[in-house]
Structure 1
Amino acid sequence: MSLQAVSGSRRVARLRERNKVQAEAKATAATRAVVYVRVSTDEQVASGNGLADQERAVRAFAESQSYALVDVIADPGVSGAVRPADRPGFSRILAMAEARAFDILLVAKIDRLSRDLRHALTTVSDLAELHDVAFRSVTEAVIDTSNPMGRMFFTFFAGMAEQERYVIRDRTAGGRTTKARKGGFAGGQAPYGYERDLEGGLRIVPAQARVVRRIFEARKRKTTLKAIAETLNADGIPAPKGGRWSISTVAYVTDNMKYRGAIEYLFRWNGQETHVLADGDHEAIVK
């Protein structure tokens, strides 16, 4: 019997009929959309929340397209460099996609999804291939991954978003270096004995400062780091992170130039190191 002479088995016929019914049902049903909005902490500080503006724009777009809006999911204070799957809000979107709860993901701008090209491409590809979910950007209207041309533009704009992220990181790194060279506290956790003030500098925490001075005075007497740690633990004094003092935590104090009124950083960026050591504009705890 020639295989070309038959149209296929009954099983294939049933599958074709089922696919036809599903396609007709999908064509007559309204496209179900989920809106995703995100702002980083820096964006919140610079321009307010921003989430409401994004939501308004995307809601208006969804209405113009007659989409059935399923949900609006937000990730406030989350960097665009964080992998979407690692964000609280977007992880809900992935669960909904797996449950086939919506058909299209809408964002105000592609960088709301991710500023990392790899993350953006992988996320959109997984949504399409694993869950049959399309992706559209309201601002970049040509980005619509339900068609080949839209997928091409998506790749282009994702690359632009990634480049913008590198520009922001370069600018931030340069700003921190400049601030440190002028004696300012250039970020990171405030060292034990200090806390951040309202201007982003350092101010002394008196109770902790007394412990710092005690450690430096003990070292002047040639007391070992181990002996200092044991004495602090015996006196019930919590270590910087709340646990017990150890040789390394005592060494952290004695080796930190900030306690002497100096600022020291070793910045690493783009394969280069920049060492900054300058007089700080904060008050020294020890002389």
Structure 2
Amino acid sequence: MTKLIGYARVSTRPQSTDRQEADLLAAGVRRDDLYVDQGVSGARVSRPKFDRALDALEVGDTLVITTLDRLGRSTQNMLDFAQSLRDRGAGLRVLNLGGGNVDTSTPMGSMLFTIMAALAQMEHDIKRERILDSVSKRRAAGKNLGGRPQRVTDSQIRSAIHLVEGGDPAAQAARDLGMSRATFYRRSRALSD
């Protein structure tokens, strides 16, 4: 008997797979045959639940995903993956590809999958290019690039340096600031440069 094996993934822990799971269940995937990776990048080669979903596939089964980007980022990787499924006698069904289902077990579905995989990679590459361009422009303009804000101000570090120069232990000054001694020394050197 053939089965539908569902796979859902989000890249970061705060994201939710609720919508993907609902779409997969509505497409006929049983809850027991649904595999979910939480906080796993599509760029990673090994994804624990994805690997388990592939292990569950048998001849005649179909892997069901909601969108193409759940598989990966590279056109070649996606095409190789679709071919490896065909070689195993399994199919791939993408629910939200071009407004409808695409089943790679048919010639038309295979062609659409190939085109959409190329477009997905192009979209990813364009997005990456825009981000890199934005970062370089912000850096050139001397603007803040974001990142984690420093909890301890330079003024607090200077005050702690004066205490240490007055005889207080550096370890105690660092503890009072809520940082390691190594971080205190690093920040102190940065201020004196």
Instruction: Judge same fold: TM > 0.5, yes or no.
Output: yes
User: Using a 3 Å threshold, how does the CA distance of structure 1 residues 165 and 259 change in structure 2: closer, same or farther?
Assistant: farther
* Alpha-carbon distance between aligned partners in 1 of 2:145 and 2:188, rounded to the nearest angstrom: 12
4+ aligned runs moved over 6 Å, structure 1? 237-240
Bigger CA radius of gyration: 1
Contact 1:32 1:104 in 2 (8 A): yes
User: Using a 3 Å threshold, how does the CA distance of structure 1 residues 70 and 122 change in structure 2: closer, same or farther?
Assistant: farther
Q: CA deviation at 1:49?
A: 2.2
* Alpha-carbon distance between aligned partners in 1 of 2:31 and 2:106, rounded to the nearest angstrom: 21
* Alpha-carbon distance between aligned partners in 1 of 2:188 and 2:11, rounded to the nearest angstrom: 32
Is 1:82 the counterpart of 2:44? The answer is yes
Is 1:136 the counterpart of 2:93? The answer is yes
* Letter of the 1:104 counterpart: T
Contact 1:80 1:113 in 2 (8 A): yes
* Letter of the 2:68 counterpart: I
Is 1:160 the counterpart of 2:107? The answer is no
* Alpha-carbon distance between aligned partners in 2 of 1:68 and 1:102, rounded to the nearest angstrom: 16
Which structure would you say has the larger RCO, counting Cα contacts within 8 Å and 6 or more residues apart? 2
Q: CA deviation at 1:164?
A: 1.2
Counterpart position of 1:177: 136
* Alpha-carbon distance between aligned partners in 2 of 1:152 and 1:118, rounded to the nearest angstrom: 14
Within a 5 Å distance, the mapping from 1:1-287 to structure 2 comes to 29=1, 31-41=2-12, 49-62=15-28, 70-83=32-45, 86-97=46-57, 100=58, 103-129=61-87, 131-140=88-97, 141-181=100-140, 182-185=142-145, 196-197=148-149, 202-204=150-152, 285-287=191-193
Contact 1:115 1:164 in 2 (8 A): no
2:103 counterpart SS class = coil
* Letter of the 2:131 counterpart: T
Provide structure 1 residue ranges, at least 5 long, that are not aligned to the other structure: 1-28, 188-195, 214-236, 241-252, 261-283
Task: Using the aligned pairs only, state the percent identity.
Answer: 31
Q: CA deviation at 1:81?
A: 2.8
Provide structure 2 residue ranges, at least 5 long, that are not aligned to the other structure: 162-179
Q: CA deviation at 1:184?
A: 2.0
User: Using a 3 Å threshold, how does the CA distance of structure 1 residues 57 and 35 change in structure 2: closer, same or farther?
Assistant: same
Length-normalised TM-score, structure 1: 0.49
2:42 counterpart SS class = coil
Q: CA deviation at 1:51?
A: 0.7
RMSD over aligned Cα atoms: 3.3
User: Using a 3 Å threshold, how does the CA distance of structure 1 residues 180 and 142 change in structure 2: closer, same or farther?
Assistant: same
* Alpha-carbon distance between aligned partners in 1 of 2:6 and 2:25, rounded to the nearest angstrom: 8
Contact 1:204 1:285 in 2 (8 A): no
Contact 2:60 2:89 in 1 (8 A): no
* Alpha-carbon distance between aligned partners in 1 of 2:131 and 2:188, rounded to the nearest angstrom: 26
